[in-house]
Structure formats: C-alpha cells, structure tokens
Amino acid sequence: MSSLEVRGLVKRLGGNLVVNDISFRIEEGEFFVLLGASGSGKSTILRLVCGLEQPDQGQVMIAGRDVTRLPPRDRNLGMVFQDYGLYPNMNVFQNIAYGLEARRMNRDEIQQRVMSSAKMVGLGEMIERSIVDLSGGEQQRVALARALAKDADAYLFDEPLSNLDPKLRHQARRDIMNLHRQKRKPSLYVTHDQTEAFAMADRIAIMSHGKLQQIDTTEALLQAPANIFVAQFIGSPPMNLMDGDIKRAGDAYQIAISENLTVMLPDRWKPILNRYGKSSVVIGFRPQAVMPASEVIEADQQQVETFTGEVENIEALIGEMVAIIKLGEKRSIAAVFQDNGQVEPNPGDVVSFALDVNQICLFDPDSQQAIR
C-alpha cells in the first residue's frame, strides 16, 4: 500500500524556526489538506516532501521508502504548483510528455499516457496548441494532465487554484478530485482557502507559525476545535468566544457570560469541570448554535438556553443571514440564521434567542487549549 509520512520535520531559515517538529501520515487514497495563513509553514513542508529543500531534522517516507535525502526526480511524485511550471516554448503534448521522456519511457506508452490524461481533463482537442495561447484555466489543466500521466506514489498540490477566477476555480477543483479518484494515491494539498479545504479534504491539518494545531475531519474542526486558535481560525463567521465564570448550581455547573446570559451546562460537563478546578473559562459556540427562540420546538426546550439581545447589524447572504447580537454593554455575538421566509429582525430590535447548549466548547484561558 502507498502512503506518505513525515516524521519530526524541522526546518530553520536564518534564525526562524519555520517548520517545528511536524509529523503526520497520509494513507492510500486519502486527500489531506494543509490549511493555514501565509507564513504558517505549509508550503515549506510541501517543498521538504518533494525534495526542493532539505530538513534540518526528520524524515520523509513515501510508499515505505525513506526519501529524505533523495533528489526530487527520484521520489516518484506527481506535482502541481501555483505557477504550473509549464514550458512556453512547448505545446500541450510536449509539456505533458516532458516528465515521461525524462524517465526514458517507451514512445508508444508516452503517446498513450499523454492522450489519455489530456482527454480526462478536456484537452483532447488542444493537444497541439501552444501553451502561450491557452487561458489560465487551460494551463492549469495541462499541469493536472502532466501529473495524471505519471504513475506516481503520491501527489502534491501547492495552492494550484489561487490564480484562477471563481468560475474556473470551481471547475479546476473538480478536475483535481477526478485526478485523485483516478489514482487513489495519497494526496497532499496546500491552501489558505477554507472553502477549498472543506470541499475537498478527507482530513485537514491546521498550521500556525510552523506548528501543527490540529489534524481532524472538517466536522471535528468545526465542533471540537483543539484550542482557541483553531476556534477563531475555522468558520465564517468564526466561533463566538467569551470569558465566563464557572459557578455551581446544586449538582450542576453554570457559566455566567453577561448580565442577561447564564448558561446551564449539560451533565456531561460535570466530571470534566470537577477535574478542571478553575473558576474562569473561555466559552465558545458556533454562530449556527444560536437561533430565534420562536424556532425552538417543544421537544428541544431543555437543550437550549434562552436570552434576549439587541440586534446590532444584519448581513444578508445567499439563503441565510448573519446577525450581530449585543449582550450587555461590551459583548456581542454572531448568529447565522437560515432564510426561511419569516420576518427578519432589524437593527435595534430586541429579540428573544436560544442557544443550543450541546454545541458549547470550553477552553482554558491560560493554556488556550480545549477542556476535554
């Protein structure tokens, strides 16, 4: 079985530690995304994997081989980069065939592989066209066809869609996923775009300042972030985070957030907070966990905490709206409501809302880590 694994990768540039003890494993057929802002270290990791840079420490394993010190040509990787890396003096066929020719492959097999991969990405009629005569989207598909033509052990993608407009980006995303489904090999995809990551990934690794913050599925990242950074980074709008005071209420725990919102926690929090032993906490919940109180059905009454708040602002989106709700003098939260055709609140309205307490997350304000 093919796999791609990095073990304890460390990379320093000057005096900066840009990759700090990174380890993960991508299984055969898995689409794995490194997601982070510019400067987080994600592209450096990809360059270490493909051999364009050497790590100061750690190993790169591909299909069970230690390739850490091998040059890029000996790692058997299919690669698609942001600038595509095409040769302007060659036509489409020659660009797709170049890597196969460098491996001294049989001419008939080169012809078969090039034509097959070109047809898969819709380039069959453009095979003799010059690269300089192609649009950005067509050039991107040539780069994909070149990777598709190669029988690689793993595939790497370094922000390949960032130069495309939204319509072309959507088509190119489907092309990449078609390539992945055809090959069923480990795929490592680097991006700063959450929409891309959520649409494509089996698992996502969140990067910040050279460190891995969390590796998980999209659902787990949204509902159970490992720390405050991930909670703030993931989602649009991101998770609501507020300081709170833990208080006992008989046998249960409650958290006072503002003068008009105190949250009674579900029973599952009792053993967790018994061990936690602190009185201060950061409480978090996604904007989707807040809803108009009028939409709560009777069966769910015990699963919500109701409160009133003044609507500060409304932003209408396609099929939904984002409301900013004022809690007291200095605190506001974001809520996302589905557009169900009912009368929408207006800025300045004081409305009754409900918070789904089963969607609450708690974080230690000192360590910034989630309280489990």
The answer to whether the CB of 197 falls within 8 A of the CB of 166 is no
Identify the top-confidence range among 114-123, 129-138, 238-247, 302-311: 238-247
User: pTM above the 0.85 mark?
Assistant: yes
Mean pLDDT, the chain, rounded, equals 90
The model's pLDDT over 102-158, given as tens digits with 9 standing for 90+, comes to 778 888 999 999 998 888 888 888 899 999 898 888 888 898 888 888 888 999 999
Backbone angles phi, psi at 155, to 5 degrees: -125, 140
> What is the per-residue pLDDT for 17?
94
CA distances from 245 to 26, 331, 346, 366 (A): 41, 15, 31, 14
> What is the per-residue pLDDT for 302?
63
The answer to whether the CB of 222 falls within 8 A of the CB of 209 is no
> What is the per-residue pLDDT for 297?
66
Residue 44: its H or E element: helix 42-50
Identify the top-confidence range among 93-102, 281-290, 297-306: 281-290
Amino acid type, 36: G
**CA–CA distance, 41 with 161 (Å, rounded to integer):** 19
Residue 341: is its pLDDT beyond 80? no
CA distances from 149 to 92, 101, 117, 131, 161 (A): 13, 11, 6, 18, 20
Least confident of 31-45, 328-342, 343-357: 328-342
**CA–CA distance, 347 with 313 (Å, rounded to integer):** 5
Residue 299: is its pLDDT beyond 60? no
Amino acid type, 213: Q
On the CB side of 279, how many CA atoms lie within 13 Å of its CA?
Answer: 2
**Mean local confidence (pLDDT), 241-259:** 90
> What is the per-residue pLDDT for 46?
95
Domains for the chain: give ranges and CATH numbers.
4-233 (3.40.50.300), 240-363 (2.40.50.140)
Cβ density class 143-153: b for 16+ within 10 Å, e for less: bbbbbbbbebb
Residue 19: is its pLDDT beyond 90? yes
Confidence of residue 69 (pLDDT cuts 50, 70, 90): very high
**CA–CA distance, 315 with 326 (Å, rounded to integer):** 15
Identify the top-confidence range among 80-94, 163-177, 227-241, 305-319: 227-241
Residue 98: is its pLDDT beyond 60? yes
Residue 343: is its pLDDT beyond 80? no
**Mean local confidence (pLDDT), 5-11:** 97
- Other beta carbons less than 10 A from residue 182's beta carbon: 12
> What is the per-residue pLDDT for 94?
92
Confidence of residue 164 (pLDDT cuts 50, 70, 90): confident
The model's pLDDT over 179-212, given as tens digits with 9 standing for 90+, comes to 888 889 999 999 999 999 999 999 999 999 999 9
